[in-house]
């Protein structure tokens, strides 16, 4: 079996384009996982909902940019339902996400009317397409930049600060008069809106929406967040501001897809991609812990040595 490294290099622009689009989805995961401290599994369903909504609307004559905004809207509704299940009915965060994920499977089937729907760049004016990689990279970068600017502004507002406080210390936030239930609902809605918007973009990029296109989205999002944090801490240590953290989430997503591209170039079984993804996430999750543990061991040894 021979390997032509040129094939891997030629595939990198496509990996970068996908990485940026999935990075937008990862920013949604970042909002719930890091800011709100909420384990939201809705994203596996809302990502496909965004893709299904965008494709069906485009086929029925709706302009692609409007379809992307509509995908954002249905994502808001999905996140809103998850938030209400958690805050009004007292269902734990993980279970509320799982319930919405299951419900959205049927919703997505009803939206599309079948398991998958194709949308061709030859028939419709799409926002981006895998046939035009350079343009896809440029457009996805514009979307990612706009999302980061909006998030940076929003989480600097009073309401955004209240959401950050809720995720950091719910008890203290409640004592300060913050309605933590409302903050959770708002953050979950906004997060899933971003996830669904990314789903609408990736559906156009790949030329179809599929009922299973969101499966494993939460793992990819976590991979992007964790990889970005590890790299960001390596470069900036404790000096990362909010914008830099978001930028490294996008970078983490790009690196993830380049790694996946490398695995495919090695002709590893495609059935094992989820296994490779889990291994990548586990490795990057373990790095900060092992590094911190090694630092504590070193300091403990130094103290023992100084005491002799």
265 pLDDT exceeds 90? no
Instruction: Check residue 305 and give its pLDDT.
Output: 59
Mean pLDDT in residue range 251-261: 90
Phi/psi at 265 (5° precision): -65, -35
Instruction: Check residue 133 and give its pLDDT.
Output: 93
Taking alpha carbons only, the member of 111, 93, 112, 115 closest to residue 167 is: 93
Q: Model confidence at 267, in pLDDT bands (50, 70, 90)?
A: confident
- The sign of the dihedral angle between the CA atoms of 203, 41, 70, 258 is negative
CA distance 192 to 78: 7
∠ Cα 239 243 244 (to 5°): 45
Percent above pLDDT 70 for the chain: 94
Paired with 210 in beta bridges are 116
Taking alpha carbons only, the member of 195, 222, 231 closest to residue 24 is: 195
Instruction: Check residue 296 and give its pLDDT.
Output: 65
Q: pLDDT digit string (tens) for 100-135?
A: 999 999 999 999 999 899 998 889 999 999 889 999
CA distances from residue 120 to 53, 98, 206, 208, 239 in whole angstroms, order as listed: 15, 32, 9, 8, 45
Taking alpha carbons only, the member of 198, 219, 271, 173 closest to residue 48 is: 198
82 pLDDT exceeds 80? yes
Mean pLDDT in residue range 301-308: 58
Structure-derived torsion over alpha carbons of residues 90, 95, 98, 100, reported in degrees to the nearest 10: -10
6 pLDDT exceeds 90? no
21 pLDDT exceeds 80? yes
Long-range own/partner contacts, residues 117-125 (CB < 8 A, 24 or more apart): 117/52, 117/55, 117/56, 117/59, 117/208, 117/209, 118/55, 118/207, 118/208, 119/55, 119/58, 119/59, 119/203, 119/204, 119/207, 119/208, 119/209, 120/207, 121/207, 124/58, 124/59, 124/64, 125/63, 125/64
CA distances from residue 200 to 272, 275, 290 in whole angstroms, order as listed: 26, 26, 38
Q: pLDDT digit string (tens) for 39-75?
A: 899 999 999 999 999 999 999 999 999 999 999 999 9
280 pLDDT exceeds 80? no
Instruction: Check residue 240 and give its pLDDT.
Output: 81
CA distance 211 to 196: 13
Taking alpha carbons only, the member of 280, 272, 262, 276 closest to residue 12 is: 262
């Amino acid at each position: 079996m021979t390997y032509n490294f040129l094939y891997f290099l030629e595939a990198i622009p496509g990996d970068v384009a996908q990485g940026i689009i999935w990075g937008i989805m990862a920013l949604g995961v970042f909002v719930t996982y890091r800011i709100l401290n909420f384990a939201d599994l809705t994203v596996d369903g809302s990502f496909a909902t965004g893709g299904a909504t965008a494709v069906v609307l485009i086929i029925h004559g709706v302009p692609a940019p409007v379809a992307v905004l509509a995908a954002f809207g249905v994502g808001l509704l999905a996140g809103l339902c998850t938030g209400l299940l958690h805050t009004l009915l007292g269902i734990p965060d993980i279970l509320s996400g799982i319930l919405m994920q299951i419900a959205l499977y049927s919703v997505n089937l009803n939206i599309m009317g079948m398991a998958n729907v194709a949308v061709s760049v030859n028939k419709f004016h799409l926002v981006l397409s895998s046939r035009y990689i350079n343009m896809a990279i440029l457009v996805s970068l514009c979307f990612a930049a706009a999302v980061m600017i909006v998030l940076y502004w929003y989480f600097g507002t009073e309401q955004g600060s209240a959401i950050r406080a809720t995720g950091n210390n719910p008890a203290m936030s409640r004592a300060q008069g913050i309605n933590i239930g409302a903050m959770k609902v708002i953050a979950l809605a906004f997060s899933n809106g971003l996830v669904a918007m990314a789903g609408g973009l990736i559906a156009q990029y790949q030329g179809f929406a599929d009922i299973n296109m969101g499966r494993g989205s939460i793992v990819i999002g976590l991979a992007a967040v964790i990889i970005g944090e590890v790299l960001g801490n390596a470069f900036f240590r404790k000096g990362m501001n909010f914008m830099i953290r978001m930028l490294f989430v996008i970078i983490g997503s790009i690196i993830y897809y380049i790694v996946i591209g490398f695995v495919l170039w090695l002709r590893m079984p495609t059935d094992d991609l989820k296994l490779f993804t889990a291994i990548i996430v586990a490795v990057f999750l373990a790095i900060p812990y092992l590094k911190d543990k090694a630092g504590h061991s070193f300091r403990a040894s130094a103290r023992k040595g100084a005491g002799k």
